[in-house]
Structure 1
Amino acid sequence: MKEQSAQARWERGTQRPLLALAVIFAVAYSVPIVDSSASRSLTSLCLVVEWVVWGAFAADYLVRLTLSTRRREFVRSNWLDLCAVILPLIQPLRLLRLVATVLLVGRRARMASQIRLTTYVGGAVVGLLMFGSLAVLSVERDSPNGNIKTLGDAMWWSFTTMTTVGYGDHAPTTGLGRILAVGLMLSGIALLGVVTANIAAWFISRFEKDDVEERRQTAAIEALTEEVRALRAEIAALSGGATSIVPHPLPGAAEERSPS
């Protein structure tokens, strides 16, 4: 119990600092891509900041694993966090540090009970649109056959891809760009499913609430009806008893009353 309490305190205490680091990561990741003429020193600084933020999330995962009382169960239930921590270490998958940070932020945000589902979905949509645009721009900008050359093209492509519209006016031509496209498609479908399920659950809860209230009112009316029937029966019983005990005149009383 003490270790679980320590884990919960750690998660509550580090939530806001990690979200702030995620914002810093977004800025550091965006600057070299948006400003292609950035100096080499600025680009190197942004790269260092990215890895520092990733290291903070990796340290957070290790601390939570250490504080957990059931570590195997923790690893099984948080396997996405583990993948997000390990995959960016592989040199060909260094671009996945972007996806890894998004996953880690999302996982930590969902642990907070005060963050509602709508807020999480909205933040996930904005984050995926922004990061997807930046990621595909960094991959497709230097492609000789690519047609995603500006940030506006990348954002338009990300929006049409996440909504599964796919106009086809902009499309990735590199292998990594197509992998990003698949990820955005699946993310868009998943988020649409979450929103649809949330709306359906809201309607169902409202209908159930109205049904419960209707059943309660029906039960109250039936109870009142039974009470009225019982009262009528008691009144009828009392009326019948009063009629049966009316005194009869005694024999000879009429003779005494008659004149002599």
Structure 2
Amino acid sequence: MNDRSQQLERWEERTDALLAVASLVFLAGYAVRILGHDLPLVWRDVCLGFTYAAWALFAVDYLVRLWLSGLRPLRFLRTHLLDTVVLLLPLLRPLRMVTEYDKIQRRRDQPRLTLYVRVMAYAGLSSILLGFAGALTVYSYEYGAPGASIRTFGDSIWWACSTLSTVGYGDVSPVTPGGRVTAVGLMACGLALLGAVTGSFSSWLVQVFTREDEKRPPGNSPGAS
């Protein structure tokens, strides 16, 4: 591992918690901005300021990653597509769980079962955050729209749960272009999270059974005579 890679890894370790907090601040500011219809304008502007400040932290993190990678901007964009998506929309930071899952897949030589559990727990948390963010976004588009079936934030939460779980009851659905684009993104995220969870769980089971076979004395394996 070269110096730049080590510096990038240290940077990620130092900023991971800070960016996690920044993503929550972004989400909280965005939520108050969307749901606080009755708040004074000054408080809504304060929430907007916190949202932009959190966004600025993600921009700085992206630029530092670009510099430490030593890559040209276009090549960095192609090879770090997930980081670019998170920069454009910090609400999708939970999807960095996919990167964690990719690290697990590269450790087949020395598997750590606790990492599989971490990925599954992180996927569950990601589903909650993504569902809440998707519900907020759809509500912001559908609120007051002509012919909208999503009239309250509760309707939006119900829609997000059924969409993220890929069930899709269809009793409420977005009618605005922005709401439908959000729905497509939320369905894609739901499939990605579901695939990560099932893939991690399957790999975890394989590792458990493999270790059990290694511990079993010769001649005691199933089918041995």
TM-score range, shorter chain: 0.7 to 0.9
Q: How much has 1:105 moved relative to structure 2?
A: 4.9
8 A contact 2:97–2:119 mirrored in 1? no
Corresponding position: 1:101 with 2:90:
yes
After the TM superposition, list the runs of 4 or more consecutive aligned residues in structure 1 that deviate by more than 4 angstroms: 70-74, 108-115
**Pick aligned residue for 1:131 from 103, 122, 133:** 133
* Corresponding residue pairs, total: 205
- Larger mean CA deviation between 184-193 and 51-60 belongs to 184-193
Q: How much has 1:82 moved relative to structure 2?
A: 2.3
Query: Aligned partner of 2:90: which letter?
Result: T
Partner in structure 1 of residue 179 of structure 2: 177
CA distance in 2, matches of 1:174, 1:193: 29
Corresponding position: 1:151 with 2:140:
no
Question: Equivalent residues in 2 for 1:32-47 (5 A)?
Answer: 32-47=33-48
Partner in structure 2 of residue 96 of structure 1: none
Partner in structure 2 of residue 122 of structure 1: 124
3-state SS in 2 of match to 1:218: coil
Partner in structure 2 of residue 58 of structure 1: 59
3-state SS in 2 of match to 1:38: coil
3-state SS in 2 of match to 1:217: coil
* Cα offsets for 1:160-183 (capped at 9, x unmatched): 111122222211010111111111
Partner in structure 1 of residue 50 of structure 2: 49
Corresponding position: 1:15 with 2:16:
yes
- Larger mean CA deviation between 153-162 and 204-213 belongs to 204-213
8 A contact 1:28–1:49 mirrored in 2? yes
CA distance in 1, matches of 2:61, 2:94: 11
Q: How much has 1:51 moved relative to structure 2?
A: 1.6
Query: Aligned partner of 1:177: which letter?
Result: G
Q: How much has 1:143 moved relative to structure 2?
A: 0.3
CA distance in 2, matches of 1:107, 1:192: 14
Percent identical among aligned pairs is: 35
* Aligned CA-pair RMSD: 2.5
Partner in structure 1 of residue 82 of structure 2: 80
Unaligned ranges ≥5, structure 2: 105-113, 221-225
8 A contact 2:33–2:48 mirrored in 1? no
* Cα offsets for 1:149-205 (capped at 9, x unmatched): 211111001001111222222110101111111111121122222222122222222
3-state SS in 2 of match to 1:36: coil
CA distance in 2, matches of 1:104, 1:188: 14
**Pick aligned residue for 1:207 from 203, 206, 209:** 209
Unaligned ranges ≥5, structure 1: 89-99, 220-260
CA distance in 2, matches of 1:84, 1:201: 27
Query: Aligned partner of 1:16: which letter?
Result: A
Partner in structure 1 of residue 109 of structure 2: none
Query: Aligned partner of 1:7: which letter?
Result: L
8 A contact 2:23–2:93 mirrored in 1? no
* Cα offsets for 1:60-106 (capped at 9, x unmatched): 01111111244576443212322443xx5xxxxxxxxxxx1033454
Query: Aligned partner of 1:145: which letter?
Result: G
CA distance in 2, matches of 1:80, 1:169: 32
Structure number with the bigger relative contact order (C-alpha 8 A, sep ≥ 6) is: 2
